[in-house]
C-alpha cells in the first residue's frame, strides 16, 4: 500500500528481457535500506525487490504488468518515480494507492499557469469499466505515474492535473511531454462505492 507521495526518481541502469518478463536494474539513494522481497512503487506499479547490490537493485515485471503499464517503454537512463510502502503509524499525505495500475493515458497538452503547469491526460473510455469506478471525478484523487494528484476538468476520457514546481523537480513529470504515456490508478474508494451501488441496483431488480 502506498500514498502517492513520491520519494525520489530512480535511474534505470539496465533492462533485461527474459521470455515474457523484464528485469529492471535501478539506482536510488535508499538502496542500503531496501530488503529482498520488499515492495516498491515504480511509476505507480508495485514491484518486488528480487536482488540488490551496493549501488543498485533489481525488480521484475511480468507480461500482464507490462501490458497494463508504461514500464515496457522504459530504457536505460530513464527516470522512474519510486515510493516505498506506506507505514501505518504516520499521516496519509496523499491518498490510498495500491500500486495496481488500471490503464495508461497519453499526455495531450501542457500549459503554464503562473509558476505551475497543467497537464491534460487522455485515456480510452470504457462505459462498463466507468460504472465500476474506473474514471475520474472533479476534485477527486488519481494516481499518475505513482504521484497522488487532484483532478480538475474531469471528462469522460480525459482530465487535468496541476503540478507545482516541487513536484516537477522531484518526480519524472519534468520529462513528460505531449505524447508521453503515463500510468493511471483510479481511486480505490470510488471503485468500491461503484461496485456496491451496482450490486444493490442489480439485487433490487431481482427482488422486485
Grid cell for residue 7: 520519494
| pLDDT-based confidence at residue 111 (cuts at 50, 70, 90) | very high
- Per mean pLDDT, which range of 89-93, 136-140, 173-177, 203-207 is the poorest? 203-207
Q: How confident is the model at residue 205 (pLDDT cuts 50, 70, 90)?
A: low
Same structural domain, 119 and 79: no
Same domain flag for 17 and 76: yes
Whether residues 111 and 187 share a domain: the answer is yes
> What CATH code is carried by the domain that includes residue 68?
2.40.30.20
Closest among 156, 161, 157 to 123, alpha carbons compared: 157
The answer to whether residues 2 and 46 touch, using CB atoms and an 8 Å cutoff, is yes
Give pTM, 2 decimals.
Answer: 0.92
pLDDT value of position 106:
98
Instruction: Verify that 163 and 110 share a domain, yes or no.
Output: yes
- The closest of 201, 191, 199 to 97, measured between CA atoms, is 191
Residue 183 resides in a domain: yes
Using the 3D structure, point to which of 57, 84, 111 is the last residue of a domain: 84
Residues 117 and 181 in one domain: yes
The pLDDT, as a whole number, for residue 204 is 66
- Alpha carbon dihedral 51, 4, 105, 130, in 10-degree steps, equals 120
64, part of any domain: yes
Instruction: Note the pLDDT of residue 207.
Output: 56
Does 176 have pLDDT greater than 60? yes
Mean pLDDT of 88-97: 86
pLDDT at 137: 95
The per-residue pLDDT for range 43-63, each reduced to its tens digit, is: 999 999 999 999 999 999 999
How many structural domains are present in the chain?
A: 2
Give the tens place of pLDDT for each residue, 114-152. 889 999 999 999 999 999 999 999 999 999 999 999 999
| Nearest CA-CA partner of 187 in 109, 94, 82 | 94
**Residue 1: inside a domain:** no
pLDDT bracket for residue 198 (50, 70, 90): confident
23 and 63, same structural domain?
yes
Domain holding 54, by residue range, is: 8-84
Average pLDDT, the chain: 94
Residue 95 burial (10 A CB sphere; 0-12, 13-18, 19+): buried
What pLDDT, on a 0 to 100 scale, did the predictor assign at position 124? 96
pLDDT digits 0-9 by tens, 153-174: 999 999 999 999 999 999 999 9
Reduced 3-state DSSP string for the chain:
CECCCCCEEEEEEEEEEECCEEEEEEECCCHHHCCCCCEEEECCEEEEEEEECCCCEEEEECHHHHHHCCHHHCCCCCEEEEEECCCCCCCCCCCCECCCCCEEEEEEEEEEECCEEEEEEECCCCHHHHCCCCCCCCCCEEEECCEEEECECCCCCEEEEEECHHHHHHCHHHHCCCCCEEEEEECHHHHHHHHHHHHHHHHHHHHC
How far, in Å, are 46, 68, 183, 184, 205 from residue 93 at the CA level?
A: 19, 26, 20, 19, 40
28 falls within a domain: yes
pLDDT at 70: 98
Amino acid at each position: 500500500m502506498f500514498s502517492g507521495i513520491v520519494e525520489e526518481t530512480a535511474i534505470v541502469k539496465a533492462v533485461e528481457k527474459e521470455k515474457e518478463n523484464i528485469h529492471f536494474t535501478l539506482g536510488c539513494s535508499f538502496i542500503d535500506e531496501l530488503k529482498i522481497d520488499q515492495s516498491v512503487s515504480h511509476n505507480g506499479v508495485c514491484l518486488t525487490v528480487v536482488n540488490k547490490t551496493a549501488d543498485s537493485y533489481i525488480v521484475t515485471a511480468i507480461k500482464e504488468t507490462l501490458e497494463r503499464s508504461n514500464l515496457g517503454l522504459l530504457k536505460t537512463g530513464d527516470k522512474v518515480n519510486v515510493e516505498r510502502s506506506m507505514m501505518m503509524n504516520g499521516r496519509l499525505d496523499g491518498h490510498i494507492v495500491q500500486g495496481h495500475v488500471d490503464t495508461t493515458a497519453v499526455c495531450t497538452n501542457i500549459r503554464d499557469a503562473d509558476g505551475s503547469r497543467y497537464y491534460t491526460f487522455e485515456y480510452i473510455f470504457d462505459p462498463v469499466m466507468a460504472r465500476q469506478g474506473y474514471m475520474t471525478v472533479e476534485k477527486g484523487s488519481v494516481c499518475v505515474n505513482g504521484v497522488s494528484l487532484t483532478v480538475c476538468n474531469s471528462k469522460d476520457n480525459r482530465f487535468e492535473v496541476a503540478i507545482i514546481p516541487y513536484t516537477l523537480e522531484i518526480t519524472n513529470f519534468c520529462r513528460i511531454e505531449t505524447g508521453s504515456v503515463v500510468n493511471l490508478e483510479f481511486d480505490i474508494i470510488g471503485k468500491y462505492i461503484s461496485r456496491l451501488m451496482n450490486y444493490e441496483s442489480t439485487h433490487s431488480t431481482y427482488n422486485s
